[in-house]
Amino acid sequence: MMKKITYLFLTACVCSAFLTSCGNGMENSDSTASSAAVEPVVADVASLSKESHGYGQGVQTDEQNRTLGALDFNKEFGKYNAMAISEDTENITLTFDQGYENGYTSKILDTLKEKNVKATFFLVQDYAERNPELVQRMIDEGHRIGNHSVHHYSMPTLSEQTCRDEIMGLHQYIKENYGVNMTQFRPPMGEYSEQSLALTDECGYETVLWSFAYADWNVDDQPEPSGALDKLISAAHPGAVYLLHSVSSTNAQILGDMIDGIRAKGFEFN
């Protein structure tokens, strides 16, 4: 009996040694089962390619106006819980990257409320720290808060541990300060490797890229509003994931008309 107890004790100790920072950051009521499951995943992650890729949806589309780059990304990396275009073909997903505040987010939120549209706002930690009232308003009005990392580093350039820290550091901050458990991650600058996607999945996150984006981020060189509006509406397609930047004065100006125009084409926003 004593030998059996000793064996069980040593087995439990070995299993517990495999806990990772991602496992510690996410809630789990069965730590022994979690640690036993994590070990082979970590071994697989370490062997995956660290080659850096810069994502872009491209300009080529299929017969449904879906960007081929987004479809190819889903096909190649969906196994890591990563996507660039949604399988929900009846709805459009509207997302905003929040690197810093430029004075337009309140207007964007006003328009979303007026049009009864929910969006996802991908935050970096500095934004969440500096703009608590805006972040709380996003939450209160039913929008999703997404993880855009602590420091906005290029994920494939980081060590495995730093990659985890960038994801889980912001996860813990948002959970502790806003009571939200985020589940979606957008890699900064759209840069990723096979390994960084697998690490993100290991941390309990879905990687969300996009199937439409345009040059809206340069505050000193904003797109002309009417041309931008035409581009945004004409790009609509089943399962579209739109990436917009809230620092854009053009986006704030045309958002309501964009929503109306996309709805007129038969789409709704999820």
| Residues labelled catalytic | 97, 245
The Cα 49–Cα 77 span in angstroms is: 13
d(CA 247, CA 180): 24
The token pair at 38 is 């994590």
Token code pair at residue 238: 């089943």
Burial pattern 125-140, b for ≥16 Cβ within 10 A else e, equals bebbeebeebbeebbe
- DSSP of 236-255: --TT-EEEEETT-HHHHHHH
Rounded Cα gap, residues 104 and 110, in angstroms: 10
C-alpha span between 50 and 155 (Å, rounded): 10
157, 196 contact by CB (below 8 A): no
Place of tokens 């309990």: 204
73: helix, strand or coil: helix
